[in-house]
Amino acid sequence: MSAIGRADLPVRSAGTQSQWQGTLLAATLCLPALLPLLVIATALISPETSVWSHLAQHVLPDVVANTVKLVIGVALIAGTLGTSLAWFTTMYDFPGRRWLEWALLLPLAIPAYVLAFVAIGFLDYAGPLQTALRSVFGSSAWFPPIRSTGGAILVLSLALYPYVYLLARSAFLTQGRRVLEVAQTLGHTRRAAIWRVSLPMAKPWIAGGVALVCMETLADFGAVSIFNYNTFTTAIYRAWFGMFSVHAALELSAVLLIFVFVALYLERRSRSGLRFANSRDMTREPPRFALSGPARWLTAGYALVVFLLAFFLPLLQLIWWTIQRAAQDLDARYWEFAMHSIVLAASASLVIVAASLTLAYLLRRPHTRFVKAAVRTATLGYAVPGTVLAVGILFPLVIVNNTLQDAMRVVWGSSAPVILLQSTLLAVLLAYMARFLAVGFNPVESGLERVTHSIDEAAVGMGVSGARLVRKVHVPLLKTSLTTAAILVFVDVMKEMPITLITRPFGWDTLAVRVFNMTSIGEWERAALPALAIVLVGLVPAAMLVRGNRHVA
Amino acid sequence: MWLELQDVARSFGSHRAVDGLSLQLARGSIGCLLGPSGCGKTTALRCIAGFEPVDRGSIRAHDRLLAQPGLALSPSERQIGMVFQDYALFPHVTALENVAFGLHRLPGPSRKRRAEEMLATVGLGDSGAKYPHQLSGGQQQRVALARALAPEPELVLLDEPFSSLDIELRERLSAEVRAVLKSLNTTALLVTHDQQEAFAVADVVGVMNQGRLEQWDAPYELYHRPASRFVADFIGQGVFIAGEIVGGNSVQTEVGVMHANGSGTWERGTAVDLLLRPDDVIHDDESTFKAEVCQRAFRGAEFLYTLKLPSGARLLSLVPSHHNHAVGEKIGIRIEPDHVVAFEKK
């Protein structure tokens, strides 16, 4: 045992008092995620019968059918796109493979709602494509309608396939091409080996990716509302703003959460299958398989088409619209939207990184089961749709506000100041924290894992301890992780639509809200400028991901 | 012949990985390609398995043409089993399912029976239900062997099969693997850079250097009658000392006249290098030849002394360890070579 006193190590010492502080801290930080879940669970347990029967009769059948169709369709198509592209780029060589390999990740920068309005603006009856078709053929009635279930499925699949691509790719890279050779020496053809070995081995990763896609599809509000496709999220929004029925919103949220937890369960279960990542000697990895002439070009063409449809063409269209309308739209109001977005994103990343760091330190020192459970709950929000969190945060906030107001009236009488907690930035930030804590927590936690206890002991051995240890050793070591966390949260908040829409204080329109407002009146061109800004910011984390992935390849 | 390679060549760009490789392996015998890393042995193995095409020459197994330029039977049609260096067990299925993987042509019940039988053969009869990550390195190795052998291939290839095991396990397992292969009368070809491994497992060993096969022979012959200077250097320990042909096969050296055997027909006066193994140099107090101890390595039963001759040339000598001499001491030596191997000086 080292001669260093335990008390010198700030992160390891845990007296009874600091245990209590830790418990309290963890409990407080998990509240934003826990509160909405509790509120909604209450709505599920004791529903308002009249509201419930209305929903069950007039809303749910449609919404459930639509949601199920959408989720299954997107899971199938995004799963197929992601898995097949990952397969081709890891196993074969084809023209353009080197840059397509990472370019196929770029669609992560385009939010689904942006892709949705670009697709509609371009492909709808009044769009340039059908107009051109009519001028050539006289009619475009045969053109499949883009505002349809199929259209919504296609757009969400193109926006979300990178999740599957990313995970399947890392699966195929770790299992390597060697397993196919093994199967061949055992008398299986390579084609058979794909189905018998490679895909089954990659199943946990693919399933994890598809589960994420399902969660994102369930959470999507922007794209489906542009498509006028009625799902849970749009129904909740309408219940909240249109019908002003809190209970309808809460009860719809509760049913949606059941779907979400099925997806979450699948994702968690697939993760437990990831245990067999055996280390292999990458230097002896067999070379990429050669493709015959036509197959090479077909593969290259397929990957290129996906890239063009999911990223390049939409970006081009956005730029084109922006150029057309910039002179008109680039006014003082636009800078105000941008400023609102930046202020919200920056304060959310500050709050979330601080909370993540606190939770990560709580986990690093000896901790109780309660703390562990609290951290898990706090980071659960990534699975919960933004509309649900927004409603689940606002409802209790209104109750707290009214109770406080009543208390103040009792004390000060009619001269008591009027408070409206629910229409302050507090509500927005709490909901963001619930939704994006996991985004910030994961990089911070894995960063802190690299600061081993022996590093602490070495520092203490040299007389550096306490706050100085944190400042001089931990912060420099954590700098990259903290920056990554801050950037990821910042960009996610910039892109976020439903929480901002529902919880923002009056007049606090952001870029995403502007996109919503313009698209809801069909002004696609005028939505392009704020959308382009969001996409450009989104390219930052996409580029970081690309860089990280290049080292692996 | 069961396996026959004729003048096989394979290049990557301008690099000739395998260059004119010819060898034959009889049914039931175990061959080995031995050589330093980058000598082309793994490429040769991959050509035989069917993962690389050949640029020249041909590969036949059991009189079936497997590969020649423009023709390559796919690996799945060659009936050649392979044990990979990292075993490459399928991590998502049990040991038993791994072994049964190549038995897809058998009906269900007999498939399971055969897989169980094979696991029992390699001594893992009770580990069938375990997953690869629950097995030790040595056990994984044996599962890999059972998996390769289960479909009764015509030939089994083993790519550095023991390199990821620790030394003790390596010795034990190499003996076990040889026993299993022999008990099933399997024809096998192994690739390794470790001569102990090659000698422990194989009946016939080929030393490869820069894509070429230098010698294809029994281990004993490789050691005592190396066909080239590279083989002499690569196999075993030993040093070369300078000598001169004094007539016929007699070589005059500073430690006496020796008779080189073999078909050496050198002219009188030719300068040669003579290979002396540590066991050719006998410690003898009576001898008139004295050499100075300049290094010693204690090996338990014996010392390996590095000795300096008056000319400055070095010799290695293996001496029973009760002859304990200090560095700097002069000791008597006698040269008693069984096989004198000489190469013309370059």
Query: A115-149 burial, b if ≥16 CB within 10 A, otherwise e?
Result: bbbbbbbbbbeebeebeebeeeeeebeebeebbee
The CA distances from residue A131 to A135, A309, A507, A513, B71, in Å, are 6, 20, 37, 29, 55
The answer to whether residues B173 and B82 belong to one domain is yes
pLDDT tens readout for residues B149-178: 999 998 999 998 888 788 888 888 889 899
> How far apart are alpha carbons B90 and B241 in whole angstroms?
53
Instruction: Report the chain B residue with the minimal C-alpha distance to residue A274.
Output: B92
Flag if B92 and A201 touch (Cβ within 8 Å): yes
| Domain match, B222 and B142 both | yes
Nearest of B12, B68, B67, B5 to residue B31 by alpha carbon: B5
* CB proximity A49 to B under 8 Å: no
The chain B residue lying nearest A190, using CA atoms, is: B76
Q: Which residues contact B3 (CB under 8 A, 6 or more apart)?
A: B23, B24, B25, B31, B48, B59, B60, B61, B155, B187, B189
Cα Rg for chain B, rounded, in angstroms?
Answer: 24
* B281-283/B330-335 β-pairing: antiparallel
* B172 and B314, same domain (yes or no): no
Contacts of B104 in chain A (CB under 8 A): 187-188
Contact B92 A182 (CB under 8 A): no
Whether A553 shows a pLDDT value over 50: the answer reads: no
| Together in a domain, B259 and B113 | no
Give Cα separations from B300 to B197, B273, B297, B303, B304 (angstroms). Answer: 22, 31, 9, 7, 10
For position A233, what pLDDT does the model report? 93
- Out of B233, B265, B286, a domain closes at B233
**CATH number, domain at B243?**
2.40.50.140
Task: Indicate if B121 and B246 belong to the same structural domain.
Answer: no
Indicate which CATH number applies to the domain containing B225: 3.40.50.300
What are the DSSP calls for A348-370, one per residue?
HHHHHHHHHHHHHHHHHSS--HH
Cβ-Cβ contacts under 8 Å for A38 (sequence gap 6 or more): none
Output the six-digit token pair for B66: 């497997």
Higher pLDDT, B31 or A326: B31
**Do residue B265 and residue B169 come from a single domain?**
no
Chain A contacts of B79, Cβ < 8 Å?
187
Give the residue with greater pLDDT, A318 vs A334. A318
Suggest the residue from A179, A185, A276, A288 to mutate for an interface test with chain B (most B CBs closer than 10 A). Answer: A185
Find out whether A439 and A489 touch, Cβ atoms under 8 Å.
Answer: yes
Instruction: Provide, as residue numbers in chain B, all residues whose Cβ is less than 8 Å from the Cβ of A280.
Output: 86
Task: Sort out which chain B residues have CB atoms less than 8 A from A200's CB and list them.
Answer: 92
Tell me how far apart the alpha carbons of residues B38 and B61 are, in angstroms, rounded to a whole number.
25
ipTM of the complex: 0.79
Interface test with A, best of B46, B101, B141 (most A CBs within 10 A): B101
Residues in a beta bridge with B11: B16
What pLDDT is stored for residue A516 in this prediction? 93
d(CA A516, CA A501): 9
Strand order in the sheet with B281-283: B281-283, B330-335, B290-298, B302-308, B314-320
Interface subset of B 111-130, CB within 8 angstroms of A:
none
Residues of A in contact with B148 (CB under 8 A): 185-186
DSSP string, A392-412: HHHHHHHHHHHHHHHHHHHHH
Q: Which domain holds residue B245?
A: 237-344
Show the tokens assigned to B285.
């107090």
CA gap A440, A112 in Å, rounded = 22
pLDDT at residue A269, as a whole number? 82
Question: Confidence band (pLDDT; 50, 70, 90) for A285?
Answer: low
Kindly state the DSSP code that residue A107 receives in the 8-state scheme: G
pTM of the model: 0.82
Residue that is last in its domain, among B213, B233, B253 = B233
**What is the model's pLDDT at position A112?**
94
B113 and B262 inside one domain: no
Q: What is the pLDDT of residue A7?
A: 44
For chain A, give the mean pLDDT.
86
Q: Count of domains in chain B?
A: 2
Q: What are phi and psi of B251, to 5 degrees?
A: -120, 130
Amino acid B203 reads: D
**What are the structural domains, with CATH classification, of chain A?**
22-272+279-552 (1.10.3720.10)
Are residues B74 and A184, on separate chains, in Cβ contact within 8 Å?
yes
A185 CB near a chain B CB, below 8 Å? yes
Answer yes or no: do B250 and B293 share one domain. Answer: yes
Sign of CA dihedral A275, A280, A282, A285: negative
The pLDDT of residue A327 is 77
Residues B203 and B253 in one domain: no
Taking only the tens place, the pLDDT of each residue in A438-472 is 989 988 988 888 888 888 888 888 888 778 888 88
Nearest Cα neighbor of A497 from A514, A480, A483, A518 is: A514
| CA pseudo-torsion sign A492, A497, A503, A506 | positive
Residues B171 and B99 occupy one common structural domain: yes
**Domain shared by B270 and B163, yes or no:** no
Note which residues in 254-273 of chain B have CB less than 8 A from chain A: none
- Higher-confidence residue of A142 and A486: namely A486
d(CA A311, CA A115): 9
Average pLDDT (A353-361) is: 91
CB < 8 Å to B133, chain A: 275-276, 278
Question: What average pLDDT score do residues A97-125 get?
Answer: 91
**With a cut of 50, which residues of chain B have pLDDT below it?**
none
Q: H/E element holding B252?
A: strand B250-253
Residues forming a β-bridge with B315? B307
> For A376-468, where are the E strands, in sequence order?
none
Q: What is the pLDDT of residue A1?
A: 37
Q: Is B80 in contact with A178 (Cβ distance < 8 A)?
A: no
Flag if A183 and B101 touch (Cβ within 8 Å).
Answer: yes
> Which residues does B9 contact at the CB level (< 8 Å), separation at least 6?
B16, B18, B19, B20, B21, B54, B55, B56, B57, B211
Q: What is the pLDDT of residue B264?
A: 60
pLDDT for the residue numbered A549: 63
Q: pLDDT band at A422, cuts 50/70/90? A: confident
Per-residue pLDDT at A281 exceeds 70:
no
Domain check: are B272 and B194 in the same one? Answer: no
Contacts of A275 in chain B (CB under 8 A): 133
Q: How far is A198 from chain B (nearest CA, A)?
A: 9
**pLDDT class for A154, splitting at 50, 70, 90?**
very high
**Could you tell me the pLDDT band of residue A547, with boundaries at 50, 70 and 90?**
confident
A385, amino acid identity: P
